[in-house]
Structure 1
Amino acid sequence: MTAPYRTAVRGERLADRYELGTHIDSGGMAEVWEATDHTLGRTVAVKILHAHLARDAAFLRRFRREAINAARLQHPTIVAIYDAVSYDGLEAIVMERIEGRTLRSVLDEHSRLPARDVIDLGRQIAQALSVAHAAGVIHRDIKPSNIMLCEDRRIRVTDFGIAKAGEDTDLTRTGSLLGTAKYLSPEQVLGDEVDDRSDLYGLGVVLFEALAGTAPFDEGNDYATAQARVVNPAPRLSQFRPDLPASLDALVARLLEQDPADRPDSALELSGLLSSITIVSEEFGGGAPGGDRTTIDLRHNSSGVDGDSTGEITPEPKRRDRGRKALPTTPPDSTVLAPSGAPPVGNADLDSANPNDQEGDEPPVDRGFSLPIGKLVLLAIVLGTLGLVAALLDGYRSDPGAAGVTNPSGATDGPDGESVSLTPVQNFGPPIIVSGQAVDPLGDNTENDDMAGNAIDGDPATAWVTETYSKPGFSSVKAGVGYLLTLTEPSAPSELRITTPTEGWRAEVYVGDESAESPEGFTFGPYALEPLEGGGVADLRNASGSHVLLWITFEGQSSPPNPDGEEPPPELENRFELAEVVIE
């Protein structure tokens, strides 16, 4: 006899494996618990269906089917699903626990975000959607509460496929659509068949809201809000943010087109379009439009939980304290620019009593998602008469209640008499490459491995070459491949340069102390690898570590071998060639 459906209780163990701990949140479809996986000894998040949904056989079948489909998605930007459980009247899915905050909670607190950060956020979401769409999974519910912002600056998209389980039933109307109507595509409102481009519309709404401080359609109730996008064209972003580039305004407008045929063709295309936009400066206010710049802490919020989050906020950041470049002591009301070409370090905020006292334009061109998290502390130590250098506390190390960070070296008085810890200068050796290897974590784990040494042999006539793909964008089966460099010892590289005959490629660089085959395992990055004639260069002056990952996000096109000089030469092939890589 089937057990009656019920609510979960703290401390019970599902399937004799997942012990429920802290109740994180409850939404329209499910409640989320932190749990301990006693089989694998790890902490997970468990999403348990509300009893009234679990009783509906049709809904339950769809829920289980979509959970299985979503479990096939493996990518650094997607929250992984580990298991599906039916146990003693409870229906649940077990997923990766994420440390961070939802974009919803950040927007509720700060209204809008710097454009360069929103662009990188959108690019990462597009990468997640590209992987899902290639696997035949449409999200259907892209909204800020389903986007996690992690402490390492990465985003994670959650709840893939869950919205589809709720289609054709009124059982979820009491809660799950509340807050979702703003992000529905016109075809969803009309009940038409949806495809990948429906997710692009939802992402367009998210980008619009994060940049403008308001959603493009918000009519006061769900029905009117949903219908407005069918009847009226979306407003232009430039009406709210005239300071932003016309290219960004036009791209967001394309995403919000009523006809899916007028939107970008794919998430992969969208990722490339976002990568091509550069923000040089903007008139940014971190609160309501026109407000002052404010710092954003990804570790804490007032409630302790973040909407539909599948994880909880951890009290200790994963980023390490680093000290490299000399910077003068900076007054609290100034903007600090990173070395030329490096990611900006953001606004110094040394006055914990008033974190919103800074104004001014955004720093020049940024190379990645760089929300100014919490309390950014910039200190300088004068050594002798030379005025030698100092410590730069990483911009992502933060604690709302602290003026600095603890350090064995002790503390000294900072501005206004605050007690501030000092980070000593760390001495690094020159970056010397020991080995290079191909990495393919999102594919079959091989990528012409036997050719990997050609990229570091000092001979540009030889090369490591990726596999040849039938369609651009790795045939839409994965979001990237990598080339991993190991250095002799922890180093502070200033620059990575590559030589390549390939055209139209895109790549990023990551640096860290630990070896990893995918970007999420690195402390520093992404750093943009800027294409130059015959190669590319990345400014790494913010980074240190003993491992460097060159992560290729678009393989571009290369000429196939033509030893006999055939005319016309063979058509270009979808593959990337790395003739040489050098780190200085």
Structure 2
Amino acid sequence: MEVLVSEVVGRGTVLAGRYRVLSPVVSDLAGASAWQATDQILDRPVRVRILEHGAVAPALDAARRAALVTDARLVRVLDVGTHEGYGYVVSEQLVGQSLARLVAQGPLTADQARAVVGEAASALEIARRRGVHHLALRPSVLHVSPDGRVLLGGLALDAALLGDSGGDARSTTRADAVGLVRLLYAALTGLWPADPRAPQTPGGETLPPAPIVNGSPVAPADLVPGVPNDLDTLCVVTLGPNEDGPHSPGELVRELEPWGEIRASVAETATLGEPMTAQFPPTGAAAPGGGIPVPADHDDQDTAPVTVQRQSVRTAFAQQDPPGANRPGTPPPATPTRATGLGPVPSDAETPPTGLPLITPPAYTQAAPPPPVVRRPVAQATAPPPPPEEETLEAFGFNDVIGAETAAPTTRRFDPTALILILVAVAVIIGVVLAFRALFASFDTGASSDTDPDPAPSASAPAVADPAPEPTAAETPVAPAGGPPVIASTTSIDPSDADGEHQEDVAKAYDGDPATFWYTQTYKRDDFAGFKDAVGYAITLTQKTTVSTVTLRTNSTGGNVEVRATDAANPTAGPVLASGAFGPETVLTLEPATETQSLVLWITQLPPAPEGGFRVEVTEIALS
């Protein structure tokens, strides 16, 4: 740290009259120092970065943009400002070890690497949708807290300090996707596949460089045995010479999911200025001669179900502040003026807090004025003398408040109340007569009277001479609810994720096109690899209807599915009405036939997929 800076910012310095600087911490970016501090108003620990030189103004602007992105996995920016010519950024305190320190103890297991990088990719996808990118991903900015949470720091800020202004949307999004794959490579191997085209930012937490062959890093599976084929291929393709692999963090999320929980444990109690530590299950003993540690056999890790601990991209993005909500640095909206039927009521202040002039709504400014008050001169009145009541009002001076309508001669107006009552009574009488005629017509056996020359052909035939009157609209019978079941909407159910499974394709299972289908994710075992017990597909009908059969046309064979008359909120409620295995055409007969408006297909076992793994593909669903 430069002497000049130490004279301005050091232990005991209070920034903005609020943040007291306590002790320095490691920073791997030139031109910026990091400090442990405390917020004296809220009495909580924070982290302060002092921007000493370089692109200070762009860095402060980048920090303000990062503050608008809200996600639990992104280190939140709390305050931005300047102190005696130096910029500062206040953020949440970083807890847990960085990825650099974690892999320094040995590479992570494949499932842990998948989970850690998957969580970071989900967070950056949230930021991307808000137009904010990281562009400076490295092992020192990715931390894992003692309770197994991923924390990613330096969003937008670090790239600005390095002078990277980004580019177009496609290049910046691709840069973050490649940076995340580099972190995945480092987590799997303990080596850093540096980008030769990007400037290096050496710090106190660097990793050994990955070996390069023909301009590309060596495949992780060639360095560490046991790396899964999908992760190895992902690293090789993305870090290769071509523009292959994911082009956004969201695409990388789909490549990595599903993943399990991050198994971390507290190794030591953290003290202020010293980060808390998190330990992962050891990958294996170190190879002889100080080589790369050889991972132990972890085949038994997936036998027990694990709890999925993640927040999907769609769920987190849906929790963003709605339009118009207050955001950091945004003043609260002005209080609207109150109004009554007589016009706007001014607030306590004539102008809103922002100093803008108070604007009267057009509905009030264009309101018509009240009718003018007419004073009727008594001497010039041409109407007959008013009744005693009106003379009494005039005698007491109330003639001023009598409108123009009372000033005119009093005339009788037609009162339609009596006519309306008469019409209603006539209508009631007619309705009663028609009702009696319809009632007694049902007892008519059809026999002819003494004066009827033509006897009825049969006792059951209706009388021709006196047909029953047509029923009125009120007497028209209403068809009972029912008819063939018609699907109104559907949704997928994932017990481990509120977003379901491939929710964007649920309508393809009943669109009438057998070439399209809804499908589940692909798992390594037919029991969902222990991540969940089942997956559901909820069906809502247009009306309550009796359903007797459910026909499923699929591209799969095997597995098991159950049918219940329930909804997505309680997918396992009620008895199982039918069950069976998937096939090209599976007919499930409900026992008994059930009158319902919602059904749930509860998939408890997955059929095998043609290319390997297990999943189900439903092309069409028919109900009867």
Q: TM-score, normalised to structure 1's length? A: 0.47
Q: Which has the higher contact order (CA 8 A, sep 6+)?
A: 1
User: Which structure's CA Rg is the greater one?
Assistant: 2
